[in-house]
Structures are given as C-alpha cells and as structure tokens.
Amino acid sequence: MASSSQVPRLKDVAAKANVSLSAASRILRGERQRFGEETCVRVLEAARELGWRRNLLVSGMQTGRTRTVGVMIPPFDSFWVDVLAGIHMVLAQADYLPITVWVGDCQEMPHFEKDEDEGFKQISRLLDRRVDGLILWPSFAVAYYDHFRELLERKVPVAVIDHEYSEDQIADSIETDEAASARAVAEHLISLGHKQIACLSSREAAWQAWAVRRRECFEQAVEDLGGAPVKSWRLNAWGTDGLEIAHEILSQSPRPTAVFAVTDHEALYLYEAAAELGIEIPRELSVVGFADLDFAANLRPALTTMRQRPREIGRRAAQLILDRLDGEMYDSPPTTIRVGADLIVRKSTGRAAE
C-alpha cells in the first residue's frame, strides 16, 4: 500500500479498526466508557500496529498550550549544566519538553552581550513555536528586558535565575541565598583567625547582580563579625585580567591571609598567581571559592567552597513555571525564591599564619 511509508493519520487508524473518525479520536483520548471494550481494544491495536502517535502541533493549536518551555541557559559550566538537569527532570516528569537555546559559543561567557540580535532571533524562534513559559539566565534576562512586555501580554510566565529586577519585579526569580552563604564563608575564615581578608569579585557586569550582592554581603558579614574591613577587587569589563588582579592582591603589604573568590573560576586565578609567587596554599594563604564546580575537588589543594544547589534551583524554576501554568498561582505577583548553599571545607583553607 502507498500509505506504508507515510506518517499514519487518525483516519487510517479509524479505517483499520472499522470505526468512525470521531470514535477513534475519543477512544484514543481516553473517553472509554461510551464504547464497548472490544471496540476500544480494536482501536488501540490498530493505532499501535500503524505506529500512530498523537500530533501535539494540533493540540497546541487547539488548546493554546504546547507543553513546551523555552530555556535560555548556556551549559557554560557545571553549575549551569546542573541547573539544566534540574529543569529537565521536573519538566520531563510533568510531560513537558524544555527547549534550550543560547547565543554565543559557551566558551567565552562574558560576551553574550555582543550578540543581542541573534539572541532576539532565538527568543522569536521560541515564541513562534508558542512555548508556554520561559526560563532565563541573568545575562539574557537583562539583554531582553525590553521584550518582556510582549511576554506579559501573551501571558507567558517567565522565571529568571540569579537575577532579581530591582525596580519593577516583573518575573519570578530563583537565586542562591547570598546573605546566608556569605556569612558562612565569613564565619569560617574568622574562626580560623584570619584578619587580613580580601575578596575577588567577577566583572560585576550589569547582569551579574549576584556577584555584587555576594561581595557586599561578604563585606557586611565580616564587619558584623568584628573583622577588619575587607578589601575587594574586581575584574575588568572584559574579564580578561584575572591573573593580573590575583597577582596584585597577593602583592599587597600586609598581604591578605585569606581571599574569598565569588566563584570557583576566580579562585583559579588565585591558585595560579600563588604558584607563580611561591605562596603556599593553605599554609600562607587561604582561598575560598563559590559554586563547587566540577573541578573544585580536583584542584591541589582541593578547594574549600560554598556548594550551591543548582539542581534544586533548576527544579524550583521549572516548578514555578508549571504552577503558573496550571492555574495554581496564575495571577499572583512575582516571587523570589532563595535557595541555600553549603560550606564544603577542603584543603585550601587553614589557620592564619601568625
């Protein structure tokens, strides 16, 4: 038969089972009680044999819901990969499909800003396919802020990770509990007797609000605990001078005995600079990172760091979208969820040298 190489249609199933189109439709949708058992079996069998599958494009048109969520998060490092894993798990369980897109090449994190136009095309690709919701990473959330009006009008719920809009909160936000985490780091270092403490921040670009908060919370926490003021540094606008800044920090006099890096990426610069200057970690210098990225435990010495909970962050973001879609919190105002983090003490921190 000519239809054997074609995608099977519902009418093929109906014909094969010898029932009407509408009967086949109802039975396959689960409306069984109106039909005899034998008929149901016949239809189900026919569908199975022909390899028929429901067409979600059609359902999407008819119901206005595609059971699809757009995700703009690059798998940039293990933190974001784990966030993605959390999102994928929750959505898969709810029979939703995440559609992940990003712009740039994942290698150079700092430069997503350049590609604003390409990023807008990506958003368009998602909206043209009528995604039900959207999850964004901070850089995109800032870059495409102007398009949020359209999203709100279309009632597409948006969740942003690690970025809370300060002026008008127009989207849900899921972030790490910076205040508590910074305090945990401060307590750890102060309890080890450190008095000269520095902080190495990232670029603190507009979309890195988390970095600003993390640094400020840390400075505050050290002060609250009675420590001497923290001296802070940050990378240049392109994020290219990490090694130089690390050298600068370690060349101060008096030299800091402990440095808190706002992510494990920055901690790497400190390791490199310390090696070049012959400074021994942790005997002469304690280093604390943030995130517990995949390489943190493999560094020598193994890095003490705040372990974020990226899975949980991803799961919560996805769940928030689902809740907004399933009517639960359809029209409630945007919320902010703060997820805790845990201090993992490894070998890069020790008692302050006398």
Residues that bind its own copies (CB under 8 A): 4-5, 7, 51, 53-58, 60-61, 64, 66, 68, 75, 81-82, 84-85, 88-89, 92, 95, 97-103, 105-107, 118, 121-122, 124-130, 150, 153-155, 268, 294-295, 298, 300, 311
Q: Which does 166 bind (CB under 5 to 8 A by kind): DNA, its own copies, none?
A: none
Single out the residue of 9, 255, 311, 338 in contact with DNA (rule: CB under 7 A): 9
The strands making up 258-261's β-sheet, listed across from edge to edge, are 231-233, 197-200, 258-261, 286-291, 304-307, 342-344
**121 or 283: CB nearest its own copies:** 121
**55 or 336: CB nearest DNA:** 55
Closest CA to 182 of 233, 206, 216: 216
Helix ranges restricted to H, 240-309:
242-250, 264-277
Q: Which does 295 bind (CB under 5 to 8 A by kind): DNA, its own copies, none?
A: its own copies
Q: DSSP secondary-structure letter at 167?
A: S
**Contacts (Cβ under 8 Å, ≥6 apart) of 347:** 282, 301, 302, 303, 304
**155 or 300: CB nearest DNA:** 155
**Contacts (Cβ under 8 Å, ≥6 apart) of 125:** 101
Closest CA to 208 of 76, 70, 299, 343: 76
Residue 185 Cβ, how far from its own copies at the closest point, in Å?
A: 23
**Is 124 near DNA (CB under 7 A)?**
no
Q: How many CB atoms lie within 10 A of CB 190?
A: 18
**53 or 283: CB nearest DNA:** 53
- The tally of CA atoms less than 13 A away on the side-chain side of residue 204 is 15
Q: Answer whether the bond into residue 301 is a cis peptide, omega within 30°.
A: yes
Single out the residue of 1, 2, 5, 62 in contact with DNA (rule: CB under 7 A): 62
Residue 97 Cβ, how far from its own copies at the closest point, in Å?
A: 5
**Is 55 near DNA (CB under 7 A)?**
yes
Single out the residue of 3, 34, 93, 351 in contact with DNA (rule: CB under 7 A): 34
The DSSP bridge pattern shows strands 304-307 and 342-344 to be antiparallel
Single out the residue of 1, 38, 107, 327 in contact with DNA (rule: CB under 7 A): 38
Question: How far apart are the two ends of the chain, measured CA to CA in Å?
Answer: 88
Q: Which does 4 bind (CB under 5 to 8 A by kind): DNA, its own copies, none?
A: its own copies
**Is 100 near DNA (CB under 7 A)?**
no
Q: Which does 137 bind (CB under 5 to 8 A by kind): its own copies, DNA, none?
A: none
**32 or 307: CB nearest DNA:** 32
Q: Which does 25 bind (CB under 5 to 8 A by kind): DNA, its own copies, none?
A: DNA
**7 or 152: CB nearest DNA:** 7
Contact in structure between 72 and 147 (CB atoms under 8 Å): no
**Is 28 near DNA (CB under 7 A)?**
yes
Distances (CA, A) of 217 to 2, 74, 107, 169, 212: 69, 27, 29, 21, 8
Category of 302 on φ-ψ map: left (φ > 0), alpha (ψ -120 to 50) or beta: beta
In three-state secondary structure terms, 230 is: coil
**20 or 191: CB nearest DNA:** 20
Residue 314 Cβ, how far from its own copies at the closest point, in Å?
A: 11
DSSP string, 81-141: HHHHHHHHHHHHHTT-EEEEE-SS-SS-GGGGGGGHHHHHHHHHHHHHTT-SEEEE-HHHH
Residue 51 Cβ, how far from its own copies at the closest point, in Å?
A: 5
Q: Which does 167 bind (CB under 5 to 8 A by kind): its own copies, DNA, none?
A: none
The DSSP bridge pattern shows strands 158-161 and 133-136 to be parallel
Residue ranges in contact with DNA by CB under 7 A? 7, 9-11, 18-23, 25-26, 28-29, 33-39, 52, 54-55, 58-59, 61-62, 64
